[in-house]
């Protein structure tokens, strides 16, 4: 697995079917995890994809990484470090450009696949920079408008498609938060689908099969 020295540490799975410029799928893991987590899906994804699983930039103790800190205090309970999240949004957007150049990939056919925190960042990157992304697979996340570039509503979203899913028994990110996603995307006239599965904070097998079929039609 030869990975080039880019701004974010990552793993790659090269396409099983060679094309001149392969479509790119970037995986963004959740809070406290790392680049190996979602990479276990890579072998099951469409053969033509060049898959990159990225490690989030903020190391946690004793192990794992995060795209941004989550703080706990007595006043607000749990809250996200939105400034760190914005920095990660920019790091991901920059990394996408680097990877496309370094691996000679198709800039017109880029998919983001994020879980939990990675899903929240996928929404933020795609809605801030819709020209950089074609497909978004957002698993167990939600839209945080505070970390999207101001004025994003005026962007051209005509090329974007979202696949969103959530566990109806999720104890980490309430399903009510995820249910607000579709109305936001509908208001922006973005093609999207939303599915729920009877699981907690994770990806059910039928969830994976559904997103894989969705992807096959769009890459």
Confidence of residue 127 (pLDDT cuts 50, 70, 90): very high
Q: Write the pLDDT tens digit of every residue in 53-100.
A: 999 999 998 889 999 998 776 566 667 899 999 999 999 999 999 999
**What value does the mean pLDDT of the chain take?**
94
List the one residue out of 133, 126, 91 whose CA is nearest residue 111. Answer: 133
Q: Compute CA 23 distance to the chain's CA centroid, rounded to the nearest angstrom.
A: 16
Give the gyration radius of the chain's Cα atoms: 16
Residue whose entry in the numeric block shows the structure tokens 């760190």: 84
Q: Write the pLDDT tens digit of every residue in 3-17.
A: 678 999 999 999 998
Confidence at residue 91, expressed as pLDDT on a 0 to 100 scale: 97
Preceding omega of 62 cis (within 30 degrees of 0) = yes
**Residues pairing with 130 in the sheet:** none
Confidence at residue 189, expressed as pLDDT on a 0 to 100 scale: 97
Confidence at residue 200, expressed as pLDDT on a 0 to 100 scale: 97
CB 183: neighbour CB atoms within 10 A? 11
Percent of the chain exceeding pLDDT 70 equals: 96
Contact yes or no for 8/53 (Cβ under 8 A): no
Confidence of residue 171 (pLDDT cuts 50, 70, 90): very high
Confidence at residue 80, expressed as pLDDT on a 0 to 100 scale: 85
Confidence at residue 2, expressed as pLDDT on a 0 to 100 scale: 61
Confidence at residue 76, expressed as pLDDT on a 0 to 100 scale: 60
Q: What tokens does 34 get?
A: 């790392």
Q: What is the DSSP letter of 56?
A: P
Question: Under CATH, domain 10-216 is a member of which superfamily?
Answer: Alpha/Beta hydrolase fold, catalytic domain (3.40.50.1820)
Confidence at residue 174, expressed as pLDDT on a 0 to 100 scale: 94
Is pLDDT above 90 for 31? yes
Surface-to-core class of residue 104, CB atoms within 10 Å of its CB (0-12 exposed, 13-18 middle, 19+ buried): exposed
Percent of the chain exceeding pLDDT 90 equals: 88
């Amino acid at each position: 697995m030869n990975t080039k020295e880019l701004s974010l540490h990552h793993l790659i799975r090269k396409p099983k079917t060679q094309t001149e410029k392969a479509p790119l799928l970037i995986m963004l893991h959740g809070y406290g995890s790392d680049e190996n987590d979602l990479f276990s899906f890579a072998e099951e994804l469409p053969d033509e994809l060049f898959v990159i699983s990225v490690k989030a930039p903020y190391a946690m103790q004793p192990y794992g990484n995060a795209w941004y800190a989550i703080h706990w205090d007595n006043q607000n309970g749990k809250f996200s470090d939105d400034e760190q999240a914005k920095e990660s949004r920019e790091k991901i957007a920059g990394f996408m450009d680097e990877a496309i150049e370094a691996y000679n990939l198709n800039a017109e056919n880029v998919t983001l696949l994020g879980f939990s925190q990675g899903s929240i960042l996928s929404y933020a990157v795609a809605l801030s920079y819709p020209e950089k992304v074609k497909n978004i697979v957002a698993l167990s996340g939600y839209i945080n408008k505070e970390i999207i570039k101001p004025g994003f509503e005026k962007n051209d979203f005509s090329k974007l498609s979202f696949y969103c899913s959530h566990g109806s028994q999720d104890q980490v990110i309430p399903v009510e938060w995820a249910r607000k996603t579709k109305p936001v995307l509908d208001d922006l006239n973005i093609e999207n689908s939303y599915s729920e599965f009877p699981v907690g904070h994770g990806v059910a097998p039928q969830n994976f099969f559904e997103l894989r079929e969705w992807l096959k039609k769009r890459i």
